[in-house]
Amino acid sequence: MNRREFLTNVATKAAGGAVIGLAAGCTFGATPAAQEVQQATAQDAALPELKWEMATSWTPAVDILYGTAQLFTETVSKLTSGKFVIAARAWRVGAWHAGA
């Protein structure tokens, strides 16, 4: 399985799990689709470990937005059994100025 197929499968199953979870009113990790994704990634030792950084345009002080970004990164990590880790990076004041 190549990386593109893996990401497509994870995204498809995660989206399906989210819809089922929202419809059932339960947590995302408890849905059958989410559990299936977790088991498949845990069993496939050939999958590479990926570490990404996700830039955000808000500071941690904007709790709703930054908290949602952190929740997203945690969910992706759980779904892929830690094989795909995304780190949310907060916006810094002055980051867009030259020399910062």
> What is the pTM for the complete model shown?
0.54
10 in a structural domain? yes
Tens digits of pLDDT across the chain (100 residues): 677 777 777 777 776 665 555 555 445 556 777 777 777 767 776 778 899 999 888 888 888 888 899 999 999 898 888 889 999 998 876 555 555 4
94 in a structural domain? no
Residue-range definition of the domain harbouring residue 65: 3-89
Q: Please list the residues that pair with 87 across neighbouring strands.
A: 53
Joined tokens for residue 88: 């949310």
Domains held by the chain: number: 1
98 in a structural domain? no
75 in a structural domain? yes
Assess contact for 86 and 53: CB atoms under 8 A.
yes
Assess contact for 89 and 52: CB atoms under 8 A.
no
95 in a structural domain? no
Q: Hey, is 19 helix, strand or coil?
A: helix
Strands (E) located in 27-72: 50-55
Q: Determine the pLDDT at residue 70.
A: 92
